């Protein structure tokens, strides 16, 4: 049950990261930082100021969204790798900031971390780590809302604008699309839901430390996106399922875990370069190849084999 809850948490983070990179074309490395900001914000507010953990989850998402917009204002004026460098700089400076005197003054706990974060509670019932089922239902609800938000975004005029700017930015600008505005919107949306699920993680685990900002989690989330397929919703969800189960299941082999896990990743990427969703969309009835045959048949009025040659 704990593994399933963690899958739901990482699915939200990876999916909103994919919304930024795969759909909006914003090459960012700041989503783990948004996750940690939301987690620490809710943990500090509930531990030191006594606010409700339920409110802390929303406030954590709002604070992460605010930081995301503030970071997006200057860096989205830049292009490509420069955005990645600025957002990764946020990731890098967050750990020393939380460990500094300023971080301890804010209640981060410094190098020791934030301990004894209050769990969720409903009425007189307090959620317990020994009974994971209530946590599962909350995680399921938050992940459903988060993933449904992505679905609505990519099937809205926003999503069309993201794809247009990503694939043909000069042409999109010539049509009057304000790429800066749309990219800033996706920064705020992705940061909010990432921070919100980070706040839930803080109350579920009960403790926080800056180890979350290590490269282990960062790379695992990147692999989830690649395995699922960049820009192919809900590929990140499938990627999070595979990566989380593989990562947990291979702990028994000790130091060989990373070797086996790495070989699995290489094999899957070699067999499906566009990820799991890319393989699904590219084969079978209703897939990309099937739609191509139908389009060719309508366009050229020929047999499928002849139409494919024409295409």
Backbone angles phi, psi at 122, to 5 degrees: -130, 115
pLDDT digit string (tens) for 82-122? Answer: 888 888 888 889 888 888 888 888 888 888 888 889 999 88
Domain boundaries, the chain: 2-236
Handedness of CA 139, 142, 146, 149 (dihedral sign): positive
- Range 12-33 average pLDDT: 88
Cis omega (within 30 of 0) on the bond before 58? no
Q: What is the pTM of this model?
A: 0.84
Q: Which residue has the higher pLDDT, 262 or 136?
A: 136
Handedness of CA 252, 255, 258, 261 (dihedral sign): negative
Helices 257-271 and 235-249, interaxial angle, to 10°?
150
Nearest to 10 by CA among 262, 271, 219: 219
Q: E strand or H helix at 125, and its extent?
A: strand 125-126
Q: Which residue has the higher pLDDT, 284 or 169?
A: 169
Q: Is 287 helix (H, G, I), strand (E, B) or coil?
A: coil
pLDDT digit string (tens) for 266-287? Answer: 877 787 777 777 777 665 445 4
């Amino acid at each position: 049950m704990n593994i399933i809850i963690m899958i739901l948490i990482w699915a939200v983070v990876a999916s909103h990261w994919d919304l930024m990179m795969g759909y909006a074309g914003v090459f960012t490395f700041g989503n783990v930082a948004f996750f940690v900001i939301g987690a620490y914000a809710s943990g500090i507010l509930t531990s030191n100021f006594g606010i409700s953990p339920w409110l802390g989850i929303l406030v954590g998402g709002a604070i992460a969204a605010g930081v995301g917009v503030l970071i997006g204002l200057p860096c989205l004026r830049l292009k490509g790798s420069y955005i990645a460098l600025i957002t990764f700089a946020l990731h890098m400076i967050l750990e020393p900031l939380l460990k500094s005197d300023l971080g301890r003054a804010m209640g981060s706990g410094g190098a020791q971390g934030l301990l004894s974060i209050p769990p969720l509670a409903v009425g007189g019932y307090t959620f317990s780590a020994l009974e994971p089922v209530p946590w599962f239902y909350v995680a399921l609800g938050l992940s459903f809302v988060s993933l449904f938000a992505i679905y609505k975004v990519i099937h809205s005029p926003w999503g069309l604008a993201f794809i247009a700017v990503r694939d043909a930015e000069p042409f999109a600008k010539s049509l009057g699309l304000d790429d800066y505005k749309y990219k800033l919107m996706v920064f705020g949306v992705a940061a909010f839901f990432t921070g919100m699920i980070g706040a839930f993680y803080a109350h579920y685990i009960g403790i926080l430390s800056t180890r979350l900002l290590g490269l282990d989690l960062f790379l695992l989330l990147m692999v989830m996106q690649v395995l699922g397929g960049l820009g192919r919703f809900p590929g990140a969800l499938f990627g999070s399922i595979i990566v989380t189960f593989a990562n947990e299941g291979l702990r028994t082999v000790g130091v060989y875990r990373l070797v086996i896990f790495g070989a699995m990743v290489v094999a899957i990427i070699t067999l499906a370069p566009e990820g799991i969703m890319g393989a699904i969309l590219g084969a079978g009835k209703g897939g990309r190849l099937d739609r191509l045959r139908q389009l060719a048949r309508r366009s050229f009025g020929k047999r499928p084999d002849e139409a494919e040659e024409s295409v």
